A and B are shown apart, each in its own frame.
Chain A
Amino acid sequence: MKDDLLREATHALRQLPSPSTPFQVNETRRRILGSLHEGDRRRHQRWAFALPLAAVFIGSTAWAGASGKLPEIVKSLASVFTRAGDNEPVQQSPSLPPVSSTRTSGQANRSVAPQPKPAAAASDDTEVSEEARPTADAPVKPSPPPVRPNPPPPRQVQVPREVDAKSEAFDLYKRAHRAHFQKHDCVAAISGYEAYLNAAPQGRFRLEASYNRALCLVRMGHREQARQALRPFAEGRFGTYRQSEAERLLDALAEGDNP
């Protein structure tokens, strides 16, 4: 191809008349000015929103600084944020099932069924269920608790900050739990659980404490007291929490009464 043909094509492209009509030209002008006005309007809106906010913030900060309340406000704000941050894990940790006097549908019960496991006693709680099952399956014989050959050593427990605030009640529960499942001292365990329930009637471990107390009563042969303690669980007042175990224990107690 000769170079002049490229030049000719270039010339043709250069000479091609603009297909834009005056209407299109004016329309584009109108669009441009419209876009600019819209941009201005948005900018004004942003300012109208941001300026009062900034003024309020600056004004209140200045007032707080002048009146000497700034450190206090900053401190309280910081504590609010810190508390909010601390609450998150607590909210995520298992909470107590709602105590209801009537049984709802199975699904609803199942939804409340996840049982609260104290972070500290999580490992020990597996022992609780293990402890409860044989008692439930077999007929209850009020006998001294079986001695375990090698009780596992107490594990290092990381106490969450929230629990730390109620450490006293929590310590009571821990002590009772240890007496129950490690030392197998039911008397100490019962008094420990009762002390915990008195100290924290709405505490996180109130259901565990009540149920474990009932287990201790069963073991010690205090049948009537044990029945009273187990009945709310069997009736489903705490959802399905330990319901079946409590029912079986009550049956076993009844069989023991009428051999």
Chain B
Amino acid sequence: MNSGVGMTLDCLGVDALDTKRSLLSRLQQGDTAAVGEAYDLYHGAVRAFATRLLGDPVLAEDVVHDVFVALPRAVSRFRGESSVKTFLISIAVNHVRHYLRSAKRRRAATRRLSSEPPPSHGEDPERYAERVRMARLLSAALDGLSLDHRVAFVLCEVEERTSREAAAILAVPEATVRTRLFHAKRKLRQRLQREGIR
């Protein structure tokens, strides 16, 4: 019984690997439909990362667009040493740079207008509002960090990636990621303190 389940899982793993390889080879050949398939598979991860990093869902959509448009060209650099998702996040890191400043401006403008928290999806409204407030404060505090520190924090703390994964995405040594993370957290604590979270 157990061996049967194991075999099925193995088969599924092999199938997934084959699908991934075929997708990659089609992407390398410039197949537009393959980009659509890659989007269906990975858009969530890219969108979540961009939203967390920018704090702006509208600009995050633009980043997602840019990442997948750049994918057919960028895929020639992909050596298969990391997952496709990690590779896409690394493309997003390169593209997000152009949006950081406008994200900050937009957020500052909309903060005044959008004081109402989004719907709580059945959660205790007071608790949910507090959570949203904290998330927004943290998002605003992230604006004060450099891109390197910000990316390191989002990757390691918010997305809970290991420093090895973050190092692969950023193409820097692990020690560098840890240093950036340390400084990012220190600065964020100071900023959140100033904002009144004690």
Contact = CB atoms under 8 A, between A and B. Distances in A.
Nearest to A17: B121
Interface string A14-54: 11111110001101110111011101100000000000000
B139 A18 contact: no
Interface stretch (A4-12, A183-191, A207-215): A4-12
Interface stretch (B4-12, B79-87, B129-137): B129-137
Contact of A13 (B32, B72, B158, B193): B158
A32 B35 contact: yes
A6 B198 CA distance: 10
A39 B68 CA distance: 13
A1 B189 contact: yes
B138 A13 contact: yes
B69 interface: yes
Contact of A29 (B43, B158, B197): B43
Contact of A9 (B48, B118, B121, B135): B135
Interface string B30-53: 001001100110011001100110
B159 interface: yes
Contact of B158 (A5, A10, A33): A10
B171 to A, nearest CB: 24
B96 interface: no
B13 interface: no
Q: Give the contact-size bracket for chain B.
A: 35 or more
Q: Give the contact-size bracket for chain A.
A: 20 to 34
Nearest to A10: B157
A18 B48 contact: yes
Given A12-B132, A20-B47, A32 B189 contact: no
B197 A5 contact: yes
A47 to B, nearest CB: 13
B59 interface: no
B197 A9 contact: yes
B173 interface: no
A252 B49 CA distance: 96
Interface string B63-90: 0110011001000000000000000000
A19 B118 contact: yes
A9 B134 contact: yes
B194 to A, nearest CB: 10
B65 A25 contact: no
B39 A13 contact: no
B135 A20 contact: no
Most chain B C-beta atoms within 10 Å of own C-beta, residue among A3, A13, A24, A27: A13
Interface of B: 32, 35-36, 39-40, 43-44, 47-48, 51-52, 57, 60-61, 64-65, 68-69, 72, 118, 121, 131-132, 134-135, 137-139, 157-160, 185, 188-189, 192-193, 197-198
29 contacts: A1-B192, A3-B189, A5-B192, A5-B197, A5-B198, A6-B138, A6-B188, A9-B135, A9-B192, A12-B135, A13-B52, A13-B158, A14-B160, A15-B135, A18-B48, A18-B57, A20-B61, A24-B61, A25-B43, A28-B64, A32-B35, A32-B39, A32-B64, A33-B32, A33-B35, A35-B65, A36-B72, A37-B32, A40-B32
